Amino acid sequence: MKRIMVQGTASSAGKSLTVAALCRIFTQDGYRVCPFKSQNMSLNSYVDEEGLEMGRAQVLQAYACRIKPRAFMNPILLKPTTDRKSQVIIMGRPYKNMDAVEYFEFKDSLKDKIREIYKDIEKNFDIVVIEGAGSPAEINLKDNDIVNMGMAEIADSNVLLVADIDRGGVFASIYGTYMLLEEEEKKRIKGVIINKFRGDKSLLKSGIEKIESLIKVPVVGVVPYIDLKLEDEDGASDIRTTTKGEIKISVIRLPRISNFTDFNAFLLDEDVSLSYAQDAEDLKDADIIIIPGSKNTIEDLRWLKQRGFFDAVKNHKGIVFGICGGYQMMGREIIDEEGWETYRGDKEDGLSFFEGVTYLKGNKRTKAVIGSALGSKIEGYEIHMGETLNSQKPFVEILEDEQTKLDGDMVEGKYYGTYVHGIFDSGEFREKILNMVRNKKGLENKISEDFDKKREEELDKLAAVFRDNVDIEYIYKIMQ
């Protein structure tokens, strides 16, 4: 069994897509490949076929391997609930909420669990491609590390270091990262990849020669900036916007926005302009306003009121669509009966587009779903606390255990709300919603493409660019 680890000089250096590229290349070469990231911090999560929660980056990487995403690919997931606390999810199930200090003390106890999961993966695959988090040179966090060099030690893996040249300072970031490592850690760094380069590579030659002489590690690739319709990193830096089309969709950028990957599919529609509204004024020309998911629905609902969004959405003449927490906000009231988000008994009035009342209580529902909405086939997943009662006109039918479960609510042609994440990935459903707007604006109807099909094309494109610009044969040699 072979393995290689990808670490970065900083967050958003391109680790996730580098792992995805290597996963697709090794898969194309005939190997059974698995991605792995011991710990993720992200509000973008996914539910696998067993109903277990995991980070979205490993979902994309699993697709690159042409296998189903599974929670063991990301055994520890941290989902921030406030600026100081996160929900800790272990092997797809919520464990407890912890602040940073509590988790820092707790995580050392996770090493044996991570080692056990990783060893099971080794038994079933030819190659494991491991992703780090942030930077391995965060010297204040190196004690009890389980995701960077600590993980490299668990797996006994060599490391590729990825650096982002697009933001400037690439050689300083490579040198600084390397020099802050311990001697044993430096020995694991076997190659550097310079990522997101724009321009003539010949201009880099002297800089590459200098950095190689300083750290005695080869630069094994310079990857050009690639415009891909793929999810990149896990953080909010990946929120994608486009201003190309006549149909204007505004997603409200909630302070605790979660699963904003729900809207990436709109990037495939040529006549759609997708933006993320930070002020109520940003909504004024929107044809569709979307209220996304939230990790703290009551607090984000209060934020909507404080920032003037509440009245702007109430007065909107077009379509308003809510997903998960956004759907809950569109109802009459949200009641935190058991103190899951704020405190026991806390409540807040919603937009009252629907009569539904949401009670935050009981177990978290995590479920992969298939079904139909507005007559179109859909696939997606649910991740939510609580239950919404008194729905008047559900528009989603979910097939579950050979039964039909109704979901969501709607005022046809005006308001739509659902718990199903990923509903817009269905080209047929997205097309139906967009054609409502096109008809109203006197535009010609269009056909929307399924996001899954486009993802495959983009992953092959990513792999081809890496093959052309990275020494893949060298990477095969350094894999242990």
CA distance 192 to 210: 13
- Nearest CA to 121 out of 131, 129, 112 is that of 129
Catalytic-role residue among 23, 34, 384, 421: 421
Cβ-contact 447, 431 below 8 angstroms: yes
Task: Say which residues have a Cβ less than 8 Å from residue 30's Cβ, sequence separation at least 6.
Answer: none
Question: Cβ contacts of residue 149 below 8 Å, gap of 6+?
Answer: 7, 136, 142, 159, 181, 182, 185, 188
Whole-number Cα distances in Å, 445 to 244, 290, 415, 441, 466: 17, 21, 21, 11, 37
**What separation, in Å, do the N-terminal and C-terminal C-alpha atoms of the chain show?**
8
Is residue 418 within 8 A of residue 323, CB to CB? The reply is yes
Rounded Cα distance between 384 and 155, Å, is 34
Q: HEC string of 329-346?
A: HCCCEEEECCCCCCCCCE
| 376-384 and 365-373 beta bridge pairing | antiparallel
Task: Tell me which amino acid residue 55 is.
Answer: G
Active site residue 324: yes
Catalytic entry in 34, 65, 324, 384 = 324
Q: How far apart are CA 180 and CA 128, in angstroms?
A: 26
**Phi, psi at residue 389, to the nearest 5°?**
-105, 155
Note whether 293 and 257 are within 8 A (CB).
Answer: yes
How many Å apart are CA 340 and CA 336, to the nearest integer? 7
| Size of the chain, expressed as the number of residues it contains | 480
How far apart CA 269 and CA 448 sit, in angstroms, is 6
DSSP code of residue 449: P
CA 283/CA 277 separation, integer angstroms: 7
421 belongs to the catalytic site: yes
Residue 280 near residue 475 (C-beta atoms within 8 A): no
Residues marked as catalytic: 324, 421
